[in-house]
A and B are shown apart, each in its own frame.
Chain A
Amino acid sequence: MKHKGSNLLEKDGTRAVLASLISILIGLVVGAVIILIVGLSDPELGLSGAWDGIRLVFGGLFSTGRSASGTLTFGFNPTNVGNMLFRATPLILTGLSVAVAFKTGLFNIGAPGQYLMGTAATLMLALGIPSKSVPAGLIWIIAFLGGILAGAIWGCIPGLVKAFLNINEVLACIMTNWIAANLVTWMFDGSKYRNLVENTKSGYIYKTSFNGVQTPKLGLDKIFPNSQVNGGILVAILIAVLVYVLMSKTTLGYELKACGANRHAARYAGINDKRNIVLSMAIAGALSGAAASLYYLAGNTEFFWSTYQSLPATGFNGIPVALLAASNPIAVIFTGCFMSMLDIVGLQMTNLTAYNEYITDVIIAVIVYLSAFSLVIKMALGKWGKRKAAAEKETAPVVPPDTGAADGKGGDEG
Chain B
Amino acid sequence: MKLMDTQNIIEMLHITKEFPGIIANDDITLQLRRGEIHALLGENGAGKSTLMSVLFGLYQPEAGEIKKNGEVVKIHDPNDATALGIGMVHQHFKLIDVFTVLDNIILGAETTKMGFLQKKEARKKVEALSEKYGLKVDLDAKVEDITVGMQQRVEILKMLYRDNEILIFDEPTAVLTPQEIDELMATMKEFAKEGKSILFISHKLNEIMAVADRVTVLRKGKCIGTVETKETDKQSLSNMMVGRPVQLEVVKTPAKPTDVVLEVEGLTVPSKGHKRNAVNDVSFTVRAGEIVCIAGIDGNGQSELVYGLTGLEKCSGGKVTLCGHDISHASIRRRGGNMSHIPEDRHKHGLVLDFTLEQNMVLQRFREPSFQHLHFIKQGAVREYAEKLIEQYDVRSGQGPITVARSMSGGNQQKAIIAREVDREKPLIVAVQPTRGLDVGAIEYIHSQLVAERDKGRAVLLVSLELDEVMSLSDRILVMYEGEIVGELDPKATTVQELGLYMAGAKRMTKEGDPA
Contacts and interface: CB of A to CB of B under 8 A. Distances in A.
B162 interface: no
Contact of B351 (A265, A393, A398, A404): A265
A268 B343 contact: yes
A43 interface: no
Contacts of B336: 269-270
B152 interface: no
Interface in B385-442: 396-399, 403, 407-413, 436-439
Nearest to B362: A254
A261 B352 contact: yes
A338 B18 CA distance: 44
A405 B397 contact: yes
Interface in A375-414: 386, 389-390, 393, 398-399, 401-407, 409-414
A411 B170 CA distance: 12
A404 B412 contact: yes
Interface in B364-395: 364, 366-367, 372, 375-377, 379
Contacts of B494: none
A199 to B, nearest CB: 54
Residue of A249, A266, A272 with most chain B CB atoms under a 10 A cut-off: A249
A270 B398 contact: no
Residue of A1, A262, A414 with most chain B CB atoms under a 10 A cut-off: A414
A270 B332 contact: yes
Contact of A258 (B348, B363, B398): B363
Residue of A268, A398, A411 with most chain B CB atoms under a 10 A cut-off: A268
Given A1-B21, A252-B375, A270-B331, A413 B398 contact: no
A100 to B, nearest CB: 17
A169 to B, nearest CB: 19
Given A2-B398, A269-B363, A410-B49, A403 B409 contact: yes
Q: Assign chain A's interface to a size class.
A: 35 or more
Interface string A1-37: 1100000000000000000000000000000000000
Interface residues of B, number: 68
Nearest to A268: B349
B226 interface: no
A413 B48 CA distance: 13
B21 A270 contact: no
Given A264-B349, A405-B412, A412 B171 contact: yes
Residue of A265, A266, A271 with most chain B CB atoms under a 10 A cut-off: A265
A201 interface: no
B50 A405 contact: no
A267 interface: yes
Contacts of A272: 331, 333
Contact of A403 (B50, B366, B397): B397
Given A2-B398, A414-B436, A389 B50 contact: no
B221 interface: yes
Contact of B45 (A2, A257, A271, A407): A407
A258 B355 contact: yes
B312 interface: yes
Nearest to B45: A404
B49 A405 contact: no
Given A2-B398, A265-B363, A401 B174 contact: no
B53 interface: yes
A251 interface: yes
A401 B353 CA distance: 22
A168 interface: no
A300 interface: no
Contacts of B310: 268
B396 A258 contact: no
Given A269-B363, A270-B332, A414-B438, A401 B21 contact: yes
Given A264-B348, A414-B410, A409 B53 contact: yes
Given A406-B22, A412-B91, A2 B367 contact: no
B131 to A, nearest CB: 32
Contact of B407 (A268, A405, A412): A405
Given A404-B412, A405-B396, A411-B44, A265 B349 contact: yes
A264 B95 CA distance: 26
B295 to A, nearest CB: 19
Contacts of A267: 312, 332, 349
Given A262-B353, A270-B333, 10 more contacts: A269-B363, A393-B21, A398-B18, A401-B45, A401-B221, A403-B398, A405-B408, A405-B409, A407-B47, A411-B44
Closest 8 CB pairs of A and B: A414-B437, A404-B45, A270-B333, A413-B410, A404-B409, A401-B22, A268-B349, A403-B396
Interface of B: 18-24, 43-50, 53, 59, 91, 171, 174-175, 203, 220-221, 310, 312, 331-336, 341, 343, 348-355, 359, 363-364, 366-367, 372, 375-377, 379, 396-399, 403, 407-413, 436-439
16 contacts: A254-B366, A261-B353, A261-B354, A267-B332, A269-B364, A390-B20, A398-B21, A401-B220, A403-B397, A403-B409, A409-B24, A411-B44, A412-B48, A412-B203, A412-B409, A413-B410
